[in-house]
Amino acid sequence: MRGKAAPGRWPAVRIIVPFPPGGSNDTVARILQPRLQEILGRPIVVDNRGGASGSVGANEAQRSPPDGYTWILVNDTLAANDTLLSLPYKATENFSYATVVGTCPYAFVTQPGAPWRSFADVVTAARAAPGSLNYATTGAGSLAHIATVLLAQQRDIRLTHVPYRGGGPALQDVLAGHVPLFMSNIVILLQHLRAGTLRALGVTTAEPSRFLAGVPTFAEQGFPGFSALTYWALLGPGGIPEPIVAAMQQAVALTLQDPNVKARMEEQGADIRASSPADTAAFIRAEAARWGAVIRDNNIKVET
């Protein structure tokens, strides 16, 4: 019964994925789904609610009853949207914060037949023909978008942003050659990089990534201190009782300890976190403050 849920006693649990199928949020949710179902003893329904840089799904989640039956697997857009968009909710105020599931870097990639072998080559081409190079991201206001704007601003070049409703649709167009450049987290890129159907020009970790051996960081390419990681965090509507939030965090942590789940996360290029509810709330608030300042200081706007 709604409002009567107790830890471990949920009926079917809905996890909203605020992007279309095929992106990293969807991938991570479906890696967690089978084992999490077993631990909770209840069905898990993954509900894709894409649109408006994840804000359609986030609004749906925060408006749901705080009974522990509805959760959302968010990423970095949640915190960035606080600054970029006018929304009826705040990432830092209107949710219950269960756990940060994991993190992973972004990579700036192109097709194997493209002429660029480094980000410096992209800079040279962009200076020769300002605005002629298109790059895809998972959406306006995503950290992929913000990070690419920062890189372009630091080299005084103009790249044309092509925002998509999620990583899946963007990836398909990049693989088909419709967009020559793509900034995305490596969960949806890694198998294509390993297969040679995409080539990485840079990775956003502060140090070289264990998942992308030989790919230079942007710090190594003349952007000192540059770092940007995406993350996936499980949140619910604000006001879920603390015992239920704690029970969900514990269930996710147990799920992430499963050898099969751990292996599948690693295969995708993700580092497991399984943080506590208190640490998750602090993390989301710190991310909102950090990237909000970057957005304001660099006058980054949502493109329409």
Integer Cα distance of 46 and 64 in angstroms: 15
Amino acid at 16: I
**Domain harbouring 117, CATH code:** 3.40.190.10
Is residue 85 domain-shared with residue 114, that is, in the same domain?
A: no
Name the residue type at position 10: W
The continuous run of DSSP H or E covering 136 comes out as strand 134-137
Cα separation of 218 and 225, whole Å?
9
Distance CA 240, CA 42 (A): 18
Residue 135 backbone dihedrals phi, psi, to 5 degrees: -130, 140
Q: Where are the alpha helices (DSSP H) in 160-276?
A: 167-175, 190-195, 242-257, 259-267
Local structure of 281: helix, strand or coil: helix
In a domain, 27, yes or no: yes
Residuewise pLDDT in 10s, the chain (304 residues): 343 434 445 579 999 999 989 889 999 999 999 999 999 999 999 999 998 889 999 999 999 999 999 999 999 999 999 999 999 999 999 999 999 999 999 999 999 999 999 999 999 999 999 999 999 998 888 899 999 999 999 999 999 999 998 888 999 999 999 999 999 999 889 999 999 999 999 999 999 999 999 999 999 999 999 999 999 999 999 999 999 999 999 999 999 999 999 999 999 899 999 999 999 999 999 999 989 998 998 788 775 4
Give me the phi and psi of 243, to 5 degrees please. -60, -35
What is the per-residue pLDDT for 9?
54
Residues 134 and 282 in one domain: no
Tokens 């493209």, residue located: 114
Give the domain extent around 54: 13-103+230-297
Report phi then psi at 148, rounded to 5: -70, -40
In CATH, what number is assigned to the domain containing residue 26? 3.40.190.150
Residue 178 to residues 6, 13, 147, 170, Cα–Cα distance (Å): 50, 38, 22, 10
Number of domains in the chain: 2
- Written as one string, the DSSP assignment of 184-205 is EETTTTHHHHHHTSSEEEEE-S
